[in-house]
Structure 1
Amino acid sequence: MAGDGVKPIASLLLVLNFCMYAIVATISGWALDVAIHRGFTIGPGFEVPAHFSPIFFPIGNGATGFMVIFALVAGVVGAATAIAGVDHIRSWNYDSLPSAVSSGIAAWALTLLAMGLACKEIELEGRNARLRTIEAFLIILSATQLIYILVIHGARTRA
């Protein structure tokens, strides 16, 4: 079949992306848990602060809440994309290509959105090491996911 030479490259990128998306989802989940536990406590007799935001994160800066939410979504969708990619790598035919490419493009688009918010967070400064890890992984994933899409789509196997 045409494109069998790129199958190991696609497999390597698939495993790499899955591991990185899992790490992004895990750290983003941790940050969301921190925000829930350390956020504002509103009880009887308390009023909502004047500048209350439902996406308030006690760690990071003003862009952290948005970046964490979108990174969590991108991490989950990216991990699910890797599962669809495993099916394509296993069968490696034209029939499994559309689902692998379309889910890969959706994960890449969400990753680009989260990466844009990570760049804004970098610009605003004031974040911890775990948030820096998410930022770095999102920047790397935006490139490796695109390469993965190009590799599997460029192989164009014949039925």
Structure 2
Amino acid sequence: MSLGVVKSLVGFLLLLNFCMFVIVAAIAGWALNNALDHTYSTGSGKPFPVGFSPVYFPMGNEATGFMVIFSLIAAVVGAASCLSGLHHLRVWTAHSLASSTASSMTAWALTLLAMGLAYKEIHMGGRNAKLITLESFLIILCVTKLFYILLIHGGFFGGNYCSYQDTYVATTTTTAEPQKGSTTVTSSV
């Protein structure tokens, strides 16, 4: 594949992933806000009711709270990894590949964790349309983030990256002070 095609596909996947991570953050943020507005209020000195869970969500099932929290974390890390990927797309060197890959793989791992909790929530049932949308976006994000990681590594192994030696500029430096009667000693590094 030519460099232009690879960079175009990477750019498209970055934009797609960033938009999807923003949507996931918005839906998970709504669910967390809704849960915080409807949590138990016991007052001072009163004990918590039996069966109280600190991750209580009035919608969904027992897995909803964990899925929403991990979805929020995955969305924030994923959006940040897209910004790192944008820098990599701009400079496209082996050095920027390392930071882009590290942040992308971290975001992908967190998205996989949230997707696993989404599978558990799907299996348990009893969720509303917004949670079904959140689950769908998590599943799609796992696939598109994996394609992005494979694509930037495919470009690397295809030889489309310049190396450190390609960007290095040699300079001439003086290694010692010249003494009377001697010639100047220089070396190129």
Which residue does the alignment assign to 2:127?
A: 127
Deviation at 1:65, TM superposition (A): 0.2
What 5-or-longer segments of structure 2 have no aligned partner?
164-189
Q: Which of 151, 155, 162 is residue 158 of structure 1 equivalent to? A: 162
SS at match of 1:150: helix
* Amino acid corresponding to residue 104 of structure 2 in structure 1: G
Moved over 3 A (4+): none
Deviation at 1:46, TM superposition (A): 3.5
Q: How does 1:70-89 map to 2 (within 5 A)?
A: 70-89=70-89
What 5-or-longer segments of structure 1 have no aligned partner?
none
Which residue does the alignment assign to 2:43?
A: 43
SS at match of 1:120: helix
Deviation at 1:153, TM superposition (A): 1.4
Which residue does the alignment assign to 1:67?
A: 67
* Amino acid corresponding to residue 162 of structure 2 in structure 1: R
- For residues 45 and 75 of structure 1, the distance between their equivalents in structure 2, rounded to whole angstroms, comes to 37
Aligned length: 158
- For residues 118 and 28 of structure 1, the distance between their equivalents in structure 2, rounded to whole angstroms, comes to 12
Q: Does 2:121 align with 1:95? A: no
- For residues 154 and 44 of structure 2, the distance between their equivalents in structure 1, rounded to whole angstroms, comes to 61
- For residues 4 and 95 of structure 1, the distance between their equivalents in structure 2, rounded to whole angstroms, comes to 19
Q: How does 1:112-151 map to 2 (within 5 A)?
A: 112-151=112-151
- For residues 6 and 37 of structure 2, the distance between their equivalents in structure 1, rounded to whole angstroms, comes to 46
Q: CA RMSD in A?
A: 1.1
1:28-55 deviation line (CA, Å, top 9, x unaligned): 0110001100011111463201111100
TM-score calculated relative to the size of structure 1: 0.96
Task: Look at both structures and tell me which one has the larger radius of gyration over its CA atoms.
Answer: 2
**Identity among equivalent pairs (%):** 54
SS at match of 1:106: helix
- For residues 127 and 107 of structure 1, the distance between their equivalents in structure 2, rounded to whole angstroms, comes to 25
Name the structure where helix makes up a greater proportion of residues.
Answer: 1
Q: Does 2:27 align with 1:27? A: yes
* Amino acid corresponding to residue 88 of structure 1 in structure 2: H
TM-score calculated relative to the size of structure 2: 0.81
